[in-house]
Amino acid sequence: MMKIAVLGAGSWGSVLGSMLADNGNEVVLFGNNEEVNQEINDYHTNDHYMKDWQLNETTRATGDLSQALDGAALVLFVLPTQAIRSVAKNVGKILIQTGSKPLLVTATKGIEPGTKKLISDILSEEIYPNDQDKIVAISGPSHAESVAQKDLTAISCASTSSSNAQQVQQIFSNDYFRLYTNDDLVGVEVAGAVKNVIAIAAGILVGKHYGDDAKAALMTRGLAEVTRLGVNYFCAQPMTFSGLAGIGDLIVTCTSVNSRNWRCGKQLGEGKSLDYVLENMGQVVEGATTVKAVYELCQEKQIDMPISEAIYRVMYENCNVDDEITKMMGRSPKQEIRL
């Protein structure tokens, strides 16, 4: 048994924390909502994020970060992208004081606007400067709602250290949750982050009542964009995008009602405003933040990502969805297979 600190008490934090407790570990969730923490401790439920579901009864929650980290051999980050840096700074300060060096695992899927940094870069900068070996990213086709019901799930766990990736593989795996190791840390992170932008586009098509042909084309060309950004800017390995973290996660996020990004896009396609959608979603829509970073990269590095650029214009420049679709379909002819 090891102690695991799960930073984030939302749907994913609760589900992964409960699963890790089922796997025989001591798990403490850290969250900033005291009502949620109290509910988890008193009733082993988290109704705000996961209706009609119970956590493992040994799982505890706290609003005290030092308490959560005390004695932890592994720290799992399941926070929104915009919260990662501030929490990581505090984690770094506490670990310096205690002298602890736990393994860091990120399940957050995003790119930081402004810096255009991946989550592993932020954790490295704020906690383990210039040392990514102790950082592992887990990503792939999975929804908290499905894992909570013990649906069969397979994802990637990636690290620059094969032994640390294998350790995480062993800690997380069970008879319904299977992990495959991958040495392309940045590729796995890029795939997990940018597919959220494509999922918004997929939802928009559904909201506009387009059919299967349109959805298939969108996912295929969306994968080309994700791959192009990963390979050309982040120096990722092309094959990563054909794996679980790439095409696997893209498929599930672009087709499932459990995807917040897909639901966001669907409502945008139906004519609702972005402010309305984000205010009423109840949880963070990561693609809404990531699309800003992707758009900045497209402009700065001249990376051809027409779908992502169109989503940015629809969300933040009040451009008309139908006009953007017409513009995209009228682009000059291109060769299909290119980076």
pLDDT string in tens for the chain (339-residue length): 899 999 999 999 999 999 999 999 999 999 999 999 999 999 999 999 999 999 999 999 999 999 999 999 999 999 999 999 999 999 999 999 999 999 999 999 999 999 999 999 999 999 999 789 999 999 999 999 999 999 999 999 999 999 999 999 999 999 999 999 999 999 999 999 999 999 999 999 999 999 999 999 999 999 999 999 999 999 999 999 999 999 999 999 999 999 999 999 999 999 999 999 999 998 899 999 999 999 999 999 999 999 999 999 999 999 999 999 999 999 999 999 888
Task: Give the model confidence (pLDDT) of 57-100 as tens digits.
Answer: 999 999 999 999 999 999 999 999 999 999 999 999 999 999 99
Q: What is the pLDDT of residue 309?
A: 98
Residue 218's closest CA among 176, 267, 254, 171?
254
- Cβ proximity of 261 and 200 under 8 Å: yes
- Cβ proximity of 108 and 78 under 8 Å: yes
- Cβ proximity of 92 and 127 under 8 Å: yes
- Cβ proximity of 199 and 262 under 8 Å: yes
Classify 161 as helix, strand or coil. coil
Q: What is the pLDDT of residue 329?
A: 96
Residue 134's closest CA among 123, 122, 142, 126?
123
The residues pairing with 155 across neighbouring beta strands, listed in sequence order, are 179
Q: At what angle do helices 11-22 and 162-172 cross, to 10 degrees?
A: 80
DSSP code at position 150: T
* Token output for 94: 């506490």
- Cβ proximity of 182 and 158 under 8 Å: yes
* Token output for 19: 């699963």
Q: What is the pLDDT of residue 275?
A: 96
How far apart CA 74 and CA 160 sit, in angstroms, is 17
Sort 10 into a burial class: Cβ within 10 Å, 0-12 / 13-18 / 19+: buried
Nearest 10 degrees: CA dihedral of 202, 236, 249, 172? Answer: -160
* Token output for 163: 């032994």
**How many CA atoms lie less than 13 Å away from 9 in the CB half-sphere?**
29
Residue 292's closest CA among 154, 184, 152, 194?
194
- Kindly calculate the radius of gyration of the chain based on its CA atoms and give it in whole angstroms: 19
272 counts as catalytic: no
Q: Write a three-state SS string for 195-216.
A: HHHHHHHHHHHHHCCCCHHHHH
Q: What is the pLDDT of residue 338?
A: 87
Q: What is the pLDDT of residue 330?
A: 96
Q: What is the pLDDT of residue 37?
A: 98
Q: Which of 117, 134, 195, 292 is catalytic?
A: 195
Q: What is the pLDDT of residue 234?
A: 97
- Cβ proximity of 115 and 88 under 8 Å: no
Question: What CA–CA distances, in Å, run from 12 to 9, 19, 62, 121?
Answer: 7, 10, 16, 22
The CA-to-CA distance between both ends of the chain, in Å, stands at 45
Classify 318 as helix, strand or coil. coil
The residues pairing with 139 across neighbouring beta strands, listed in sequence order, are 156
